[in-house]
Amino acid sequence: MLDDSRPRTRLCAAETLTTVAYEDTEDLHDADAVLAGLKELRSDNELPAKRVEKMINITEVGAGYTEE
């Protein structure tokens, strides 16, 4: 869903994955793939850049890559 043609769908998918990564990391099959997909959204001019960065940061914390 992160590469859906509709910006709203991409944003909602990213937000859902971010929540799961933060709350239930063990439920993700591949946290690295989720993080890579979110990082690809950085170049998506149709999505709010600050919001995307915040989702990346939250996902990194949830996956244990960085601390809060």
* pLDDT tens across the length of the chain (68 residues): 899 999 999 999 999 999 998 888 777 788 899 999 999 999 999 999 999 999 999 999 988 888 76
Distance (Å, whole) CA 20 – CA 59: 9
pLDDT score recorded for residue 68:
67
Q: 28-44: per-residue pLDDT in tens? A: 788 899 999 999 999 99
pLDDT score recorded for residue 31:
86
